[in-house]
Amino acid sequence: MSKRVVSGIKPSGELTIGNYLGAMKGWAANQHKDGYENFFFIANLHAITVKQDPELLRKRTMDIVAWLLTSGVDPNRSVIFIQSMIPAHSEICWILNNYVTMGELGKMTQFKDKSQKTGREGQIAGLFDYPVLMAGDVLLYDADEIPVGVDQVQHVELARTIAQRFNNSHGETFKIPKATLTENSSRIMSLNEPEKKMSKSESQDSYVAMDDKPEAIIKKFKRAVTDSDNTIKKATDKPAISNLLAIYSGFTDRSIEEIEKEYEGAGYGKFKNDLGEIVAGVLDSWQKRFSEIREDNDRIQNVISEGNSKAETLAKEKLGIVKDKLGLH
Ligand code: ATP
Ligand code: MG
């Protein structure tokens, strides 16, 4: 039996090298492992938990599809689909809302973090509820594995709880999914606040975007915060240089130990400059490929309609079973 992997990216900003190293790179690699079926989706229903400009949301959705193709996700090996185009996602979310408590959702660290500014009462209900939508995203497809960063492990745990609860009430319906930590599960951190993760919805100087120009990339790495001493060494009390080493390693596929050795005795200045040039070089060539793919609208539309159709067949079938059990059919 093959294992099914389901994972998504929100079109909530420009894709960053954090998204590439923590998600897309691993997705592309996973396609070449035997015994895996891969489902990757653009999580636009999740993106609207934060206000989005409609035109920009539409554009970014297509951009992400093109970036997936650019980074080696192959529509012949993986199903690429758009969440909002498959109504079963919204439907299952409503149903699963009845198998989770306010207490369980209120405990989610991400909800608590994101509610610090507004306070709980001022927070959007969609943001409170989004782990349930996420549970639906994976339960609809009988996912075995959910490759996530550490920030999402708690949400996968909740999806397991919801699935088990539903199964206990109505008999075996959902497969219980497992979180698998992506290779860079240590996470790529912000360039100016290395104790926070790099996020596409944060300020531009905190991340490198996949479509940043070479000069901008080099400048961003030059300006990246560093730790107090001047040695290129990974350490828990040196979050900034550890993060830059992780990025260097991710873009060169060389081990951190090897890189540390090469830069023994060199200062941060040289290291950051080299890193900027490496990342700029790689992204520059990918951006050319991206532009070609992005301009071929027919190809993108084909990938989406084929992916949607494959995903929808499975999602509808599972939703049908669920509705049947609940007397909704
Ligand atoms: P947002 O700020 O809108 O939440 P994001 O940059 O966190 O955006 P998501 O769409 O939430 O991106 O996540 C897409 C995928 O990228 C997920 O698999 C997530 O675990 C991974 N990811 C996001 N940021 C990082 C990071 N800094 N390091 C490693 N992986 C990351
Ligand atoms: Mg995120």
Pocket flag, ligand 1, residue 19 (CB < 6 Å): yes
One-letter amino acid of 293:
I
* Comma-separated ranges of CATH 3.40.50.620 domains in the chain: 3-176+297-326
Distance CA 315, CA 86 (A): 8
Number of Cα atoms under 13 Å in the Cβ half of residue 285: 6
User: Is pTM beyond 0.85 here?
Assistant: yes
pLDDT band at residue 327 under the 50/70/90 scheme: very high
Task: Report which ligand 1 atom has the smallest distance to the Cα of 152.
Answer: 20
Q: Which of 19, 67, 134, 150 to mutate to test the pocket of ligand 1 (most atoms within 8 A of CB)?
A: 19
What is the pLDDT, as a whole number, of residue 184? 53
Spatial separation of the C-alpha atoms in residues 69 and 212, rounded to whole Å = 18
Task: Tell me the pLDDT band of 181, cut-offs 50, 70 and 90.
Answer: confident
Evaluate: CB of 60 within 6 angstroms of ligand 1.
no
Does residue 186 register a pLDDT over 80? Answer: no
- Where do the CATH 1.10.240.10 domains begin and end in the chain? 204-292
Ligand 1 near 68 CB (within 6 A): no
* Best of 6, 7, 9 for a ligand 1 pocket test (most atoms within 8 Å of beta carbon): 9
Report the catalytic residues: 114, 197, 200
Question: What value does the mean pLDDT take over residues 265-293?
Answer: 97
Say if residue 187's pLDDT is above 90: no
Decide whether any atom of ligand 1 lies within 6 Å of the 152 Cβ.
yes
Nearest CA to ligand 1 atom 7: 199
Of 33-47, 54-68, 144-158, the one with minimum mean pLDDT is 144-158
* Ligand whose nearest atom lies closest to the CA of 16: 1
| Residue 86 neighbours by CB under 8 Å, 6+ apart | 308, 311, 312, 315
Distance CA 26, CA 32 (A): 10
- CA–CA gap between residue 212 and residue 324 (Å, rounded): 49
Rounded mean pLDDT of the chain?
95
Q: Is the pLDDT of residue 52 over 80?
A: yes
Q: Which ligand sits nearest to residue 27's alpha carbon?
A: 1
Is pLDDT at 182 greater than 80 in this prediction? no
Contact status, residue 93 vs residue 132, Cβ threshold 8 Å: yes
What is the topology classification, in CATH, of domain 204-292? Tyrosyl-Transfer RNA Synthetase (1.10.240)
Average pLDDT over residues 109-123: 91
Give kind and range of the element (H or E) at residue 4. Answer: strand 3-9
Q: Judge whether residue 18 has pLDDT over 90.
A: yes
Q: Is the CB of 5 under 6 A from ligand 1?
A: no
Vertex 200 angle, CA 285 and 243, to 5°: 75
pLDDT of 87 higher than 90:
yes
List pLDDT tens digits, range 225-274: 999 888 999 999 999 999 999 999 999 999 999 999 999 999 999 999 99
CATH architecture designation of domain 3-176+297-326: 3-Layer(aba) Sandwich (3.40)
Distance CA 305, CA 78 (A): 13
> For ligand 1, what atom is nearest to the CA of residue 15?
6
